[in-house]
Structure 1
Amino acid sequence: MTERIFITGDKHGSFYPLFGLADHVDLEPSDVLLIAGDAGYVWDENYHGNIETLQQLFPGTIAFIDGNHENHQMLSEFELTRWNGGQVHQISDRIFHMMRGELYSIYGKNFFAFGGARSVDKHRREESVSWWKEEEPSVEEMEYAAAQLEKHLADIDYVITHETPLFARDFIKRTKEIDEDYTLPAFLDDWYEQIKEQKKFCRWYFGHMHVDQTITPQLRALHNEILLIGEEDQSIRWI
């Protein structure tokens, strides 16, 4: 049995990267794929076909944090259970929604997850149809995550968020406006400062910005790239 963990960024319901991954890598049922938000496969009542296709393309387990372009109402209606030590919504027998502020131990590596972000295009979307206010983490969710981070700080190997720490935006050409009342990026700045010097900490991955870019040796934006945890210096070919 392999103990491989793959990670990638926003997919917005696209199957092309997974078709490519299946063509170039001998995937096994023990493999795990993590998605850093905006997976987009659970979008409307027709999601069952998407889930079936995902499970055909990827024989292992898929777990994703939520982004801002998700049907948050639908995600919240799935059964709550535990997976690798943290709470999840179980979408199917092999697909899970990782919840905000939870810690997951996968093949001996600890992943701290925190989804959500604010949409800059929400004015063009319709509430409860193509936009959900739950996209943005609540104060309670951020407080819970901060307490979890403090409690497990020395044990965390990887952090996965959808939003980026505020300082990283200065290095990314594709800008997204930040409203004055939007505090999440600044919170993530503080979390990054807390964790970056920890001996066990390896890397922090985020999506949202639609770029594949290394910000610091420990902070990396993901979009199209698919990486293998433990061998992240080389992207896996899927095209």
Structure 2
Amino acid sequence: MIYITGDTHGNFSHVVSLCEKIHTSAEDVLIILGDAGINGFGKEQDRRLKRALSRLPITLFCIHGNHEERPQNIPGYAETLWRGGTVFVEPEFPRLLFAKDGEIYDFGGKRCLVIGGAYSVDKYYRLARGRCWWADEQPSAEIKARVEKRLEKENWRVDIVLTHTCPLQYEPTEVFLPGIDQSTVDKSTEEWLDTIERRLSYEKWYCGHYHTSKQVDRLVFMFQDIRTFPVDG
């Protein structure tokens, strides 16, 4: 089975409950729509979390969020082919997989495009307190070019899109954090995703980032809910 959920930020209690309730196996896959938190706490804490997660009877497929380091920048990660696309993986933790932006993966016969990253509205809060922040949290010009080149090859047709943030037109303004001046928020990724969404032929689009669960047209926001993939409705 394939499941999907939103941001976990290092808290996997609901994932543990799923594994216990459904009696999952290592062949089952959980898609996490960014901010899994697996590479976001510091080396030692990350290793402890990875060891705990590697004991769960499920495979985690993580999209890059904005609260974790990109795996390609961490020593020990290697690229390998999985479900038709390239993933980053550490040999010690073969069931903790990280998607590569612009790749297309096969999930249950659905061709799924992945695009990670977003801007951190808490950037300065984290920096002021000595917490981790990464300058490459958003997709670079190189990543954007790779995504668009791949979509050109696919004639701008995929079945499903998996992203961390959403196209700008779908921003859930009702969940914006109070006290954040939206004029200071870099929305270049959302603006770019808008251009992708307008050109792309697709069935469903799933994203996290906003800590809300709802559906607007073909776009599904997810947070702590875990659902069978693809989500009906």
Specify the TM-score bucket, using the shorter chain as the normaliser. 0.7 to 0.9
1:183 to 182, 185, 188: 188
In the alignment, is residue 40 of structure 1 matched against residue 37 of structure 2? Answer: yes
Letter in 2 for 1:49: R
Q: TM-score, normalised by structure 1?
A: 0.85
Give 2:64's aligned amino acid. Answer: D
| Cα distance change of structure 1 residues 115 and 61 upon mapping to structure 2, 3 Å threshold | same
Matches within 5 A, 1:1-239: 4-43=1-40, 44-46=42-44, 47-57=46-56, 59-72=57-70, 76-77=74-75, 78-91=77-90, 92-126=93-127, 129-153=131-155, 156-169=158-171, 171-175=172-176, 177=182, 179=184, 182-195=187-200, 198=201, 201-216=202-217, 218-233=218-233
Give yes or no for contact 1:42–1:75 (8 Å, CA) kept in 2: no
Q: Number of residue pairs matched?
A: 223
Could you tell me how far apart the structure 2 residues matched to 1:178 and 1:207 are? 22
In 1, are the aligned partners of 2:4 and 2:228 still within 8 Å (CA)? yes
Q: Give the partner amino acid of 1:167.
A: Q
The 8 Å contact of residues 207 and 220 in structure 2, kept in 1 or not, is answered as yes
Asked if the contact 2:71–2:98 (Cα under 8 Å) also holds between the matched residues in 1, the reply is no
* CA distance in 2: counterparts of 1:209 and 1:90, whole angstroms: 27
**5+ unaligned residues in a row in structure 1: which ranges?**
234-239
- Identity of counterpart residues, as a percentage? 31
Unaligned ranges ≥5, structure 2: none
Deviation of 1:231 (Å): 4.6
* CA 122–181 in structure 1, closer or farther in 2 if over 3 Å, else same: closer
Q: Residue 23 of structure 2: SS of its match in structure 1?
A: coil
Task: Provide the C-alpha distance between the structure 1 equivalents of 2:127 and 2:15, rounded to a whole number of angstroms.
Answer: 29
**Secondary structure of 1:124 counterpart:** helix
Instruction: Tell me if the contact between 1:117 and 1:137 (Cα under 8 Å) persists in the aligned partners.
Output: yes
Closer, same or farther in 2 for the Cα pair 1:26/1:6, shift >3 Å?
Answer: same
Q: Supply the distance in 2 between the matched residues of 1:129 and 1:16 (Cα, whole angstroms).
A: 23
Instruction: Quickly say closer, same or farther: Cα 1:76–1:215, change in 2 above 3 A.
Output: farther
| Kept in 1: contact 2:168–2:187 (CA 8 A) | no
Q: Matches of 2:121 and 2:158 in 1, distance apart? A: 31
Distance in 1 between the 2:138 and 2:2 partners?
27
Report the alpha carbon displacement of residue 18 of structure 1 after superposing the two structures with TM: 1.0
Per-residue deviation at 1:55? 2.4
> Secondary structure of 1:94's partner?
strand
Q: CA, structure 1 residues 167+79, in 2 after alignment: closer, same or farther (shift >3 Å)?
A: same
